[in-house]
A and B are shown apart, each in its own frame.
Chain A
Amino acid sequence: MELKVLGQAEPEAPKGGCSAGSCGSTDDQLSHLPEDIREKVHNHPCYSEEAHHYFARMHVAVAPACNIQCHYCNRKYDCANESRPGVVSELLTPDQAVKKTMAVAANIPQMTVLGIAGPGDPLANPERTFATFRALSEQAPDIKLCVSTNGLALPASVDELAKHNIDHVTITINCVDPEVGAKIYPWIFWNNRRIKGKKGAKILIEQQQKGLEMLVERGILVKVNSVMIPGVNDEHLKEVSRIVKQKGAFLHNVMPLIAEAEHGTFYGVMGQRGPKSSELQALQDDCAGDMNMMRHCRQCRADAVGLLGEDRGAEFTMDKIEDMEIDYTAAMEKRAQVHAAIEQELAAKQAKPQAPALVPLESLGGGSKPRPVLMAVATTGGGVINQHFGHAREFLVYEASAEGVRFIGHRKVDLYCSGGDTCGDGESVLGGIINTLEGCEAVLCAKIGYEPWEMLEEAGIQPNGEHAMEPIEDAVMAVYSEMLEMGKLDAKTDDQETQATA
């Protein structure tokens, strides 16, 4: 079966953000999809941007072994990029994983998806991975199963995957050229030997591409993850994106390299930097052709639990689970009810005639289009502005323009600074947040204190608490319209300072 990828007719993916209609709300894109595919993605938090506000996922860490080495991974510690648990996290046996899944699914009825993402490569641990899938497809048939892999063992596993009724597979593909690959993968283990350098990378690339084709043939949805490594594969990823789309991948997720020296990864130790938010965004826009780009990925750990962006893993450690009493049948019924209620809410939201979130072009006067503006939003989910500025651990970034509002990505604050952003030791947390929000001209939140208000304003970012509890897109457009009326949008982009304090 051929998967319908939006506008797939052209083998050459059109470049450039919004042109192909792939920006803006994911709803639009879902509505173009055939019913059977919609069915597979509508409640998967990673495949549907909309769904991720409502539905939860979890990962079980049953797969420790890996069959390749990546320069952004350190097997001794938590891998920052590829969702690995740290040394303190629990490695689970398949039995424990099943138990944990049932416990979480009973306690978090919004849960729809169980994934195996490591901490090594799930397909390099086929027995543990498939034992877990086998048991779960019997005992929790309403939970979707998915798996992430580096792709090396994928062709050999496709039939087995298809047997377990797995709808979604994520392949991490960082290159399609062995020259580039040799800079990312020092070695692979293949046919009973360690193969280094370009030769190893070539085999890995061949297996990944073959695996992708085989999955698409069987109607399994494929998401491709790529780690953006400045100076190594950043330019090359456009080519990767083009090829995987052409082969029928459903979603492309370009993630920033995380390479802190203290993670002890090769890149971290060698001082390879990660991309800035703006560089990542530009590459994502370049890759956005006729396919969805995933922009809401949180680079979760291999034992993450809950909604994307939250981690409730600590509530479900094995010793806590042992003491939980779970009525599986009742839990499944409850899940069905909760899911139905969410579906209803989503349907109602869609049915509601959407106020045209566009600035009417007539109002712009005879002149040029108003420039686009980035805004950050504090939310705990549900698609509304409902979080206090000071409680936000991440901000969602939206771009408002004459074309409407589109989701750009999320930026973590507080504990982290996204890779590449400078956040010196001496700076306050607030200073770090302001750095992280670089490029945004407004912050929309439910409430904000006096001190951060002042500092944000000083930094040229206008705080705004007037749209609490309103739907994000509407509020962003309202603020954009205000800015337009106040004549702030024809001013030069880089002179934010004067605009915000004006």
Chain B
Amino acid sequence: MALKIIESCVNCWACEPLCPNQAIYEAKPHFLIDAKKCTECEGEFADAQCASICPIEGAILDALDEALNPPGSLTGIPPERMAEAMAELQAH
């Protein structure tokens, strides 16, 4: 069981200091998780720390390759509501 950082990572450093197991390391072109060290934070925190601070939707995947922060989840607006929200914002 381990999480994975993929290429959309912007190397912002937010996750690195939070990992209780020092599993995250700076690498080129983007940060990586050492699968041997990552415990998915189980037993340590209720939520995976890296995924809880990462600002980039889709940058961190779980063991099933599913995004922990799927599209729309961080802007607070699900994609299907984008159009509606846009109209609302443009109205003022």
Evaluate contact between B53 and A189: CB separation under 8 angstroms: yes
> Which 8 pairs across A and B sit closest by C-beta, in order of nearness?
A231-B92, A186-B76, A65-B14, A64-B13, A75-B55, A271-B90, A189-B53, A194-B52
Chain B, Cβ-Cβ closest to A128: B13
Residue-wise, chain A 214-244 has the 8 Å CB interface mask toward B (1 for contact) of 0000000000000000110000000000000
Number of contact residues on A: which range applies? Answer: 20 to 34
Partner of A193, one of B10, B46, B75: B46
Q: Chain A's nearest CB lies how many Å from the CB of B75?
A: 5
Contacts of B13 in A (CB 8 A): 64-65, 120, 125
Residue-wise, chain A 63-74 has the 8 Å CB interface mask toward B (1 for contact) of 011110101000
Evaluate contact between A66 and B47: CB separation under 8 angstroms: no
What are 30 A-B pairs with beta-carbon distances under 8 A? A64-B11, A64-B14, A65-B13, A65-B16, A65-B53, A67-B14, A75-B10, A75-B56, A76-B56, A120-B12, A124-B14, A186-B74, A186-B76, A187-B76, A192-B18, A192-B45, A192-B49, A193-B46, A193-B47, A193-B52, A196-B76, A230-B92, A231-B92, A267-B89, A270-B85, A270-B90, A271-B86, A271-B89, A272-B89, A272-B90
Please provide the chain A residues from 61 to 97 with a CB less than 8 Å away from any CB of chain B in the complex: 64-67, 69, 71, 75-76
Evaluate contact between A120 and B14: CB separation under 8 angstroms: yes
Contacts of A272 in B (CB 8 A): 89-90
Number of contact residues on B: which range applies? Answer: 20 to 34
Evaluate contact between B47 and A192: CB separation under 8 angstroms: yes
Q: How far is the CA of A197 from the CA of B55 in the complex (A)?
A: 15
Q: Chain B's nearest CB lies how many Å from the CB of A125?
A: 7
Q: Chain A's nearest CB lies how many Å from the CB of B49?
A: 6
A266 CB-CB contact with B under 8 Å = yes
Evaluate contact between B12 and A186: CB separation under 8 angstroms: no
Please provide the chain A residues from 157 to 194 with a CB less than 8 Å away from any CB of chain B in the complex: 186-187, 189, 192-194
Q: Chain B's nearest CB lies how many Å from the CB of A193?
A: 5
Q: How far is the CA of A13 from the CA of B39 in the complex (A)?
A: 54
Classify the interface of chain A: helix, strand, loop or mixed: loop
Evaluate contact between A266 and B53: CB separation under 8 angstroms: no
Q: How far is the CA of A64 from the CA of B76 in the complex (A)?
A: 23
Chain B, Cβ-Cβ closest to A127: B17
Contacts of B56 in A (CB 8 A): 75-76
Q: Chain B's nearest CB lies how many Å from the CB of A150?
A: 13
Q: How far is the CA of A475 from the CA of B53 in the complex (A)?
A: 53
Evaluate contact between A187 and B74: CB separation under 8 angstroms: yes
